[in-house]
Amino acid sequence: MRVALAGLGVVGRSLLELVRDRREELLKAYGLNPRFVAVADKSGAVARATGISPHEILEQKRRGGITGIEGAEVKSGTLLDLLGELDIDVYIDATPTNIVDGEPSYSLIRKAILARADVITVNKGPLALAFPAIRELAERRGVIFRFSGTVGGGMPVLEFAKECARADTIVAIEGVLNGTTNFILTRMEEEGLDFPTALKQAQELGYAERDPTLDIKGLDTACKITILANAVLGMKVTLHDVEVVGIDGVAREDIVDALKSGEVIRLIGRAGRRLSVMPERIPKGDTLNVKEAMNAVRFTTQYSGRHTITGKGAGGYETATAILRDLISIKQRRLVET
């Protein structure tokens, strides 16, 4: 399998480590042997038709930049140019999320689809802004488009939804889809902190980024709700269709007040008749009442009840495992077709 990989942050590097360390097992169990024929990070892109080993990429990245990769048959340039020239089977997009215009991810995904490569992305930006357009383009070009790692990190949320919908219909989705905000709300609840102090604690512990806007304003959750609405409910919506309220307006008093009625406040994303993200009071015993940085997603079905899945919704190895899951699923589907 000839792969182009963009993005060498935590997830991209975790993927390379998993492929390096699990090579034999992946080959034996799934016939999977990804060959990285092109790789790109912020510094640029390099390509080698015979493949660049994960070890070599990780080493060069550590030394400063992948553009230092040399040797026979090495081309360099922008990945956007290279994607048009190279013979690749799958493009893996592990670039950072940008919800303003989805770039550079959106253009790279489009280019890959046009070049008839299957696509795996963990980038929420292009999906939140243009899911219907990307899905349509992929269908028209006959390529497989996978994005398991965009929702729930390593939890197979989208695959679980597919199983819930087999022989049944999912009518609504609700969830706690952002670990950072849930961590902050849990700290406020359990330690009586106010919002700024809990945020600072989350930043110190590495749960929140230095610029926490996407998380605390509810936008990360809204991206995930948009993806679920399109992928699971078959809607055609973008981020702008979601009503979004963040947690920065939640006061200690609100939380204390909720606790008095046996409730907690959680940032709940909903997809169904309406799309929304907002802090809501839920009963303590509710399955969506997860603690710390955990995630929970609940599917309400027409016939078989309500099913909730909970787990860690982020993490480098977790999300990289979701990419592997997508790769294996592509491999298996392509195998059936040939």
Nearer to a copy of itself by Cβ, of 246 and 313: the residue is: 313
| CA nearest neighbour of 320 among 39, 9, 3, 4 | 9
The rounded distance, in Å, linking the Cα atoms of 224 and 331 is: 26
The rounded distance, in Å, linking the Cα atoms of 296 and 311 is: 7
Nearer to a copy of itself by Cβ, of 110 and 331: the residue is: 331
178 lies in the binding site for a copy of itself (CB under 8 A): no
Beta bridge partners, 276, equal: 243, 270
Q: What are the residue numbers of the active site?
A: 224
The rounded distance, in Å, linking the Cα atoms of 131 and 106 is: 10
* Count of positions on this chain that bind a copy of itself (CB under 8 A): 41
Nearer to a copy of itself by Cβ, of 155 and 250: the residue is: 155
CB of 90 to a copy of itself, least distance (A): 14
Span interacting with a copy of itself, options 45-53, 67-75, 159-167, 273-281, rule CB under 8 A:
159-167
Span interacting with a copy of itself, options 3-11, 105-113, 206-214, 305-313, rule CB under 8 A:
305-313
CB of 30 to a copy of itself, least distance (A): 8
Instruction: Output the CA torsion 102→103→104→109 (10° steps).
Output: 40
The rounded distance, in Å, linking the Cα atoms of 145 and 138 is: 7
315 lies in the binding site for a copy of itself (CB under 8 A): yes
Nearer to a copy of itself by Cβ, of 238 and 321: the residue is: 321
155 lies in the binding site for a copy of itself (CB under 8 A): yes
Q: What are phi and psi of 87, to 5 degrees?
A: -95, 95
CA atoms within 13 A on the CB side of 18: 20
Q: Give the residue, chosen from 108, 290, 293, 330, that forms a contact with a copy of itself under the rule CB under 8 A.
A: 290
